[in-house]
Amino acid sequence: MTNAQLMDLAKEARNMAYAPYSHFLVGAAILAEDGRVFTGCNVENASYGGTICAERTAAVKAVSEGCKSFKTIAVATSSGEWGAPCGLCRQFLYEFMPEGNVLMWDDAKGIKEMPLKELLPMGFRGEDIK
């Protein structure tokens, strides 16, 4: 699975976004260490706090299927510009891919790749609970 292929899956997943409130469509595709790929989209709720981001949808789908270790996550938003995961998603993903990378999409500039660690310096981990 190449970065470009993973990003194509994120863009496809974006079509499934349920975003009647923000109209901001987001798709994600997460590549597990075992080669499996899970996709997700944002799912909003009339009670706004119940909304789940595309990145966490993809990660939760994967974990619930037994995948707990990821290499890369691709994210594509409807803005056409690089959209980095929100802070909550960065921390959520850090649990399962502290050494992983995040791919973002811009219609003009293409893929930007960043280590999750750079997006979340000093992320909180289980071993920090003492």
Q: Give yes or no for a contact between 101 and 114, defined as CB atoms under 8 angstroms apart.
A: yes
Containing 110, the helix (H) or strand (E) segment is strand 110-115
Q: Which is nearer to ligand THU, 51 or 69 (CB)?
A: 51
Active site residue 118: no
d(CA 94, CA 69): 10
Q: At closest approach, how far in Å is the CB of 64 from ligand THU?
A: 18
Q: Given 44, 55, 65, 127, which residue is catalytic? A: 55
Interaction site with ligand THU (CB under 6 A): 19, 22, 24, 26, 42, 44, 51, 53-55, 85-86, 89
Q: Which is nearer to ligand THU, 42 or 67 (CB)?
A: 42
Q: Give yes or no for a contact between 75 and 13, defined as CB atoms under 8 angstroms apart.
A: no
